[in-house]
Amino acid sequence: MGHISWVNSVTFSPDGQILASGSEDNTIKLWRVSDGNLIRTLTEHEWSVSSVTFSPDGQILASGSADNTIKLWRVSDGSLIRTLMGHTGVVHSVSFSPDGQILASGSSDNTIKLWYGSSPRKWRDKESLSEAEIDQLLQDLEQWQAEAKRRVQERKEEIRRMKEERRREEEGRRRKEEEERRRREEERRRMEEQRRLEEEKRRMEEERRRMEEERRRMEELRVQRRAQGLCEDCGQPLSFWDKLLGRTKCPNCR
């Protein structure tokens, strides 16, 4: 229940009801003065606690430590409000100004630092931001939101454009393919037509050749019939008179 190493610093709360103690065991203990009982132990420091002090209103306890930090604690529930960093050596001593607006700290880094309560970046809680500071924060936030919105919009637009472009490219490619396909089909049809024409020509040639052959054969037959004294058309024997007059056809074929 008590400290397990040296006690470096003790201080009464302004109303005299609480005693705070900082120790080499890295803890701060709050004691009820009336009966000496331990109220709570604060354990966030990483090294020994050199100095403790209450704010004038008794609501905040400040502690300086060999971990080079100052911590501010809410006395009512023992919660850590914030850690003040900046010293490069052990913080040996901490003290509030009588109006509670400034916290002073002395360190083995040979400096004294003053921490101003009016600045949220120093040590005050967010609840104590001034109206102007809150307005500024809200304004910053709005600007940031607008900027983020603008960027998202830009990106969306860019994506849309890229998609459109890709779609157009795809369309062009498809059209070219279709055209190529049509061209090939046309070529194929033309070749087919040409082949058919050639076939036709060949067949006509064949026909012509056959007719010529037939004609030649008929001519031969006629010569043969004439030599045998037959009608050159039907092959019937010619009469005596027909032969005498030099006719080559019978009366029926003349």
Q: Is 230 in the site for Zn ion (CB under 5 A)?
A: no
Torsion sign (Cα): 245, 246, 250, 251: negative
Q: What's the CA gap between 38 and 149, in Å, rounded?
A: 54
Decide whether 153 or 228 has the Cβ nearer to Zn ion. 228
Q: Is 90 in the site for Zn ion (CB under 5 A)?
A: no
SS (H, E, C) 213-225: HHHHHHHHHHHHH
| Residue 91, strand partner residues | 107
From the list 5-13, 88-96, 215-223, 235-243, the region that binds Zn ion by CB under 5 A is 235-243
In the bound complex, what is the minimum distance in angstroms from residue 213's beta carbon to Zn ion?
23
From the list 124-132, 215-223, 227-235, 239-247, the region that binds Zn ion by CB under 5 A is 227-235
Total number of residues that touch Zn ion (CB under 5 A)? 6
From the list 59-67, 138-146, 155-163, 243-251, the region that binds Zn ion by CB under 5 A is 243-251
Residues 27/38, Cβ–Cβ less than 8 Å: no
Q: Is 141 in the site for Zn ion (CB under 5 A)?
A: no
Decide whether 93 or 239 has the Cβ nearer to Zn ion. 239
Decide whether 91 or 250 has the Cβ nearer to Zn ion. 250
Q: At a CB cut-off of 8 Å and minimum separation 6, what does 86 contact?
A: 113
Token representation of residue 34: 């009336």
Element of type H or E holding 151: helix 131-228
Q: Which residues bind Zn ion (CB under 5 A)?
A: 231, 233-234, 236, 250, 253
